[in-house]
Structure 1
Amino acid sequence: MSDEKKTPMRDEQVVKKNVEHASSEILDIMTLQGKVTQSGASATPCSSYSPEDEVHRLRHPWSIYGVPSEDLKKAMDRLRKQLPAKGWKIVKDGHDKSQAKLPQIVAESPDGHMSADLRLWLEPSDSRRSSMIEVTVVSDCFRSSPGSTSGTG
């Protein structure tokens, strides 16, 4: 395939470390004391390639909750200001396409190899559910270099 030669080959452990570091940096910017869902970055196939191409990306979804709604709003404002100061480029700042029209920030990393999708879920005060910021950091598509451990299996 001609696209296969264009797809970068990278060490998956290095990509995973970079994705999880970016997630940690985003959490630090928020400066919130709340509960954080625990997960690590995991490999998912890139949909524009066939499975035989073994092209994938790493996704690290997590959220922070158990924080007053006003504090979550202030954290989103901090992200708007501090992500660009750290070299991230905000490519979207508005509402997502869901029926709920959630406030959403989408940013690209300084090196262009990752993106972050940040969404603010505000629940009514009488709701049993907790308001939260949902974060997904995703690497670009790559092929694992030989000897690199793949998280796809």
Structure 2
Amino acid sequence: MPIQRKHTMYHSTILDADPDTVWATIRDAMQILEIVSPGDLDVHRDVSWVEGGSVETVPARYDFRLTLSGKVVQQEIAARDEINKTQSYRAVAPTSGVASYEATIRVFPITNDPSRSFFDWSRTLEIAEDADLSVVEGIIDIMEKQTDAVRDHFAQTAK
């Protein structure tokens, strides 16, 4: 499928963990990056909070390096709602052909199964006119699999 200049994605899944357990993990950018990109970045070396950011701070900036392009990605937690278990983040600077990026993750309870959660992840990427489309396609391919990685992580911890 050809890449559009404004590319939107939406993924959702059921997780084998209660909403509080899921939220405690995914609200932390360092933990979610470790779950969704273990082969794509060295999270222990290449991911860090910067400019005084932390898991408890909003807004909070963090940087990581993409193995795919070698470029540093600068993102920030832009908003968080602890009660509704929603967090939005965005790119601070363009990189790897992505001119802008915004995303929101949300965790919902499942009324008839409180030990499980509904998780969704929406994203919008604006692709730069001069982007190397093979790099952008690689980034999108990685993103396409990330919700499954979250699902698999909580399935493993539930055993």
User: Which is greater in Rg?
Assistant: 1
Q: TM-score, normalised by structure 1?
A: 0.43
